[in-house]
Amino acid sequence: MAEPVPLVQQLVNVPIFKDLPARSLESIARSMRERTYEKGAVIVRQGDPGVGFFLITDGVVEVSHDGHHVRDLGAGEFFGEMALMEERPRSATVTAKERTRCLQLVRWDFRAVLKENPDLAVRMLEVVVQRLREHPQSHELD
């Protein structure tokens, strides 16, 4: 069986984490927990309170809003950041389309990581703004 890949190594391969100093990656990795979801598992449900931020390391998830497909996300992408940033319920449902592995950060660790790593926070903000622009109807912005 293949050796498990250390969490730090998994983070180095993720675009928004690239260029962070090794010290920061090691500290972030210590707060992360590996989670595996089987095909069809609902990872985040629209309307629920948000506890976790998820970074996909393997697999594909579907984001849906009011039962309508919004888009798929795959390895290196993340979800669950919105409810943690604005302290509101989950804006969409996220379902595993196949067996999917994620690294999870809980709310308090997620916020601490962003405060300690402004470059990461800015990169994440860029992705979030893009998401809101592409699908304003899912976020009451239209």
Residue 22 CB, nearest approach to ligand CMP (Å): 27
Residue 97 CB, nearest approach to ligand CMP (Å): 14
Residue 14 CB, nearest approach to ligand CMP (Å): 15
Give the orientation angle of helix 22-31 with respect to helix 107-116, to 10 degrees: 170
CA 109, 110, 111, 113 torsion-angle sign: positive
Among candidate residues 54, 24, 27, 29, the one with its CA nearest the CA of residue 117 = 24
The residues of the shown chain that bind ligand CMP, judged by CB under 6 A, are 44, 50, 63, 70-71, 79-83, 90-92, 94, 131, 134-135, 138
User: Which C-beta is closer to ligand CMP: that of 35 or that of 71?
Assistant: 71
